[in-house]
Structure 1
């Protein structure tokens, strides 16, 4: 497996973790009521705490950015440019690792800066295709 594909697998795992973390924090699933909410159809969820709402938003943002990442990674791999795109993919991945806790903890300006670093990683990936 190439380095780029390994990062795709890692980014897939990180996206799954962000989704699960968003649900757990949003529903407070460490409580009995939270477990009931998490196992329900989620029709009548209680109001999210501020941290839970941020975790849910961070998960949504991760899913949105994953779509961009996977498209660029797939094209780079198919074009035989995967190794050249790996550095950008690594920048993107590690920025996302930092982004999740920064967003969940509500560190506003740092969150935007880290998001920008992740986007820079996507731009680096895209540059390898031209």
Structure 2
């Protein structure tokens, strides 16, 4: 199995981690009873629940791109050092991004996001050219 396919499979655990963090922050803010309701008349979330929502949304914005590139790499048989590095850089940067979103250090979160985008760019270049 290629590196890209291996990390694509493990990215399901990564996606689960983002959902788990977001849903936990939501339940801590609103309570389990409200989280199990229809959520009519929802008030604005607290800082932690809002960060969980934004972190998950940010992950989902790049996850589709990663899936397409990893599958394209696998189907085209173009796995090489560039695509493997890109895959791993994106994957590990996205893991580091979760706690970084909750830690309030200026520019750290944005720097990690930039590193993850470099990983996607390497993956794209490796499979497209």
RMSD of aligned Cα (Å): 1.7
Among 79, 87, 108, the alignment partner of 1:82 is 79
What TM-score results when the alignment is normalised by the length of structure 1? 0.87
Matches within 5 A, 1:60-79: 60-79=57-76
| Structure 2 CA distance for aligned equivalents of residues 45 and 105 of structure 1 | 26
Does the Cα contact within 8 Å between 2:22 and 2:49 map onto a contact in 1? yes
Gap regions ≥5 residues in structure 1: none
Which residue number in structure 1 is paired with residue 2 of structure 2?
Answer: 2
Q: Is the 8 A contact 1:4 1:83 kept in 2?
A: no
Task: With the length of structure 2 as denominator, give the TM-score of the two structures.
Answer: 0.88
The 1:109–1:86 alpha-carbon spacing in structure 2 relative to 1, beyond 3 Å, is same
Question: Which residue of the partner structure matches residue 89 of structure 2?
Answer: 91
8 Å Cα contact 1:28/1:34 also seen in 2:
yes
Q: CA deviation at 1:111?
A: 0.5
Q: After TM superposition, what 4+ stretches of structure 1 lie above 4 angstroms from structure 2? A: none
Match of residue 44 from structure 1: 41
- Once residues 24 and 40 of structure 1 are traced to their aligned partners in structure 2, the CA distance between those partners, rounded to angstroms, is 16
The answer on whether the counterparts of 1:4 and 1:86 sit within 8 Å (CA) in structure 2 is yes
Number of residue pairs matched by the alignment: 127
Matches within 5 A, 1:17-28: 17-28=17-28
Q: What does residue 125 of structure 1 align with?
A: 123
Deviations, residues 21-46 of structure 1 (Å, cap 9, x unaligned):
112202317xxx61112222233334
| CA distance in 1: counterparts of 2:33 and 2:47, whole angstroms | 20
